Structures are given as structure tokens and as C-alpha cells.
Amino acid sequence: MANTQPWPRGRFAQAQRAAVMDAGMALWAVRGRLCQALEDGTATDCRIGAVGDDVNPWLLEESQRWSHLLSVRPTATIEEMRLSLPNNRAMVLRGMEMVSIFDYERVDAECRQLIADEPVGQYLFGIAEVQVKIIDREDVLLLGPERDGDYSVMVVRSPQVFELAMRYWNAVMLSAFDCGHERASEPMLTERQGRVVGLMRSGMTDEAIARTLDVSVRTVRADVAHILDELQARSRFSAGFLLGQAKAHPGT
């Protein structure tokens, strides 16, 4: 059975909440300016992608060209996830690298369980304030202005917005843990190494992990070597298995 108790607010450090809030507010502020530019007809680095009921079909079509997706969603309903999870699965099986983070405290237990049970893709829980998708380390998808009372999605291609989106992503990522269990808390692992373990479990290459965490491949390889050494594991697979066993039998 899924845990239906509220996630303890003390689980996330106040500094983590503040970092996500600050980065999210900065991204939301520039999003407001972009929406105004679209309304004024002066926008040069953003456009409306789709509106209302056309958003999901548009995303499905657009995603056929994506190679790398970082996604943050503060909220989600079980109905929404029953629609989006099969689409995400198809994209990942096609070869797209994807990491998706949901706000643990705003997604109900039934929806969290559905996400945790998804066998394909890398899903995490953490702190999230602003919904955003970062596509191929170039385009940023944000909530756009209303169109005839309906919501819209806008596509932004701007170095400044990309930098703000990555700052926000990194803040959210530092709060994130695998959706199937609590964040790895082994004393020999740093925050980043805990993230590396989660991404290793998904089968990501060192290069893909480096892009996701916005660090160098050398840093990732050093972290992997440290993890293998600390666990006395001969392979990445063995490391993931050993950590999984530790989670399943915390007292042993």
C-alpha cells in the first residue's frame, strides 16, 4: 500500500526550499515579461506552441524530435498522468533521455504511486514551484498567456531564460529523490553522488548524467568511482543492487 501520510515538511531543509523559491521566482518573473511581449506583439525570442486541448497532441508531436528532456511539474492529477505516462514511455523507448521531477507535497498519494510504478523513465520527487520543460539544452517551455480563456504553452529560445531555467532545475534537483523510495542517505555519499546513484539505476551513461546534473563527465566518473569503492562493488549494476538492498533492509 502507498503511504498516505503527508510527507514531513522537515524532510526538506529550509535552505533547499529557499533556493527553489528564489530560482523559481526569477524564472516566473521573466516568464511574465515574455507573456507581455507576446500580448504586445513585440516578442522576438518566444512563441505560442499550443493552446488548451491542443497542448497534449502538440507536445506528443514535438517530442518526436527531442533527444533530451528535463521536466519539473509542481502538480499533477492521476488523470493527467494516465495520459502522459504512456507518451513519456514511448519517447524514452525511442531513445530520448528524460528526467522528470514532481513536487512530493502537492501530488496526492494515488498519483505518486502511479508515477512510482512506472517502469520506464527517470521520475523523482522533490520541491517544485514552477512548471518547466528544458528541451535539448536549448528550448524552454513555460506556461504562456491566456488565449480566449484557455491556457497556453510558450516556447522560449533565449540564453538568459535557459540560464534561469537551469538554475531553477539545479535547485529542484538538489531536493530530489527517487520516486520509489526515500533519498539515499548513506553517509559515504554526498548530495550529488546520491543523484548519480539514482540516474545510474535508470541506465544513463556518464555523459547523460553529466548533462542532467550540469557537471563535467570527469566529475561524474569520479563520483561513480567513489561510489563503487565505498560499496566495494565491481560494477555500476552491483552498486545499484547493493544500495537497493540497503533500502529494503535498513537495519542489516
Q: What is the pLDDT of residue 235?
A: 67
Say what the pLDDT of residue 119 is: 78
Residues in the chain, pLDDT under 70: 1-11, 180-188, 201-203, 231-252
pLDDT tens profile 24-50:
999 999 999 999 999 999 999 999 999
At 219 the pLDDT is 93
Rg of the chain on CA atoms, in Å: 19
Do the beta carbons of residue 137 and residue 163 sit within 8 Å? no
If you classify domain 191-247 with CATH, what class do you get? mainly alpha
C-beta neighbour count of 91 within 10 angstroms? 21
Residue extent(s) of CATH 1.10.10.10 domains in the chain: 191-247
CB within 8 A of 106, min separation 6: which ones? 74, 75, 128
CATH fold for domain 13-178: Endonuclease; Chain A (3.30.870)
What sign results for the dihedral spanned by CA atoms 118, 123, 124, 128?
Answer: negative
Q: pTM surpassing 0.85?
A: no
Cα 92–chain centre separation: 14
State the span(s) of the chain assigned CATH 3.30.870.10: 13-178
